[in-house]
Amino acid sequence: MSTPARAGLALAAAMLLGGCSSFSVPTVEPWVKPYERERLADPIMRFSRGALAERHAEHVRDVREGSRGATGVQGGGCGCN
């Protein structure tokens, strides 16, 4: 990374860290308030219906397919051969 780019990154970091008020960089306020989270808290919106069932499906796919990972399922172990 060249010196100007490094300086630019350091400045950006400093602006973020230093608090945006002193630089009049527009801050972004969270736009979904905690009292507006009812739909998201509903069980239908969960990514998994049961921890064990999800682990089982993930295990079957890990064994049968070449692609693995990034699913967020905490699995382990093997049935590899």
Partner 1 sequence: MAATRAALTLWRRLAALLGSLLGGVLAVGGAARAADLPEDSAEALLHVYTGGGVTAWGPAFLVRKSVADRFSITGSYYLDAVSNASIDVVTTASKYKESRHEYALSADYVYRDSQITIGVNTSREPDYTADRARIDISQEVFGGMTTVSLGFTRGADKVRKKDSPEFSDEARHWQYRLGVSQILTPRWIMSANVEAIADDGYLGSPYRAALVFGAAVPERNPRTRSARSLMLRVKGDLGSRDAMHASYRYYRDTWEIKGHTLELGYSRYFGDAWLADTYLRYHTQSAALFYSDNATSETVYVSRNRQLSPFDNASLGAKVAWTWRKVPGKYEVKVNGAYEYMHFKFKDFTDLRTGSRYAHGASILQLFVTGTF
Partner 2 sequence: MTPRSRSGRALCALAIAAATLASPLAGGAIAPQSAAPDFTLRTMSGPNLRLAEQRGRVVMVNFWATWCGPCRQEMPHLDRLYQKYKSSGFVLLGVNVDDDARKAADVAAKLGVTFPMLLDTDKAVSKLYDLSTMPSTVIIDRDGKVRYFHRGYLAGYEDNYDKQIRELLR
Binding site for partner 1 (CB under 8 A): 29-32, 34, 36-40, 42-45, 47, 49-53, 55-57, 60-61, 63-72, 74-81
Is residue 60 helix, strand or coil? helix
Instruction: Choose which of 4, 22, 26, 33 interacts with partner 2 (CB under 8 A).
Output: 33
Per the document, the length of the chain is 81
Q: How far apart are CA 49 and CA 53, in angstroms?
A: 8
Residue 16 is a binding residue for partner 2 (CB under 8 A): yes
Q: Which is nearer to partner 2, 34 or 50 (CB)?
A: 34
Residue 14: its H or E element: helix 3-17
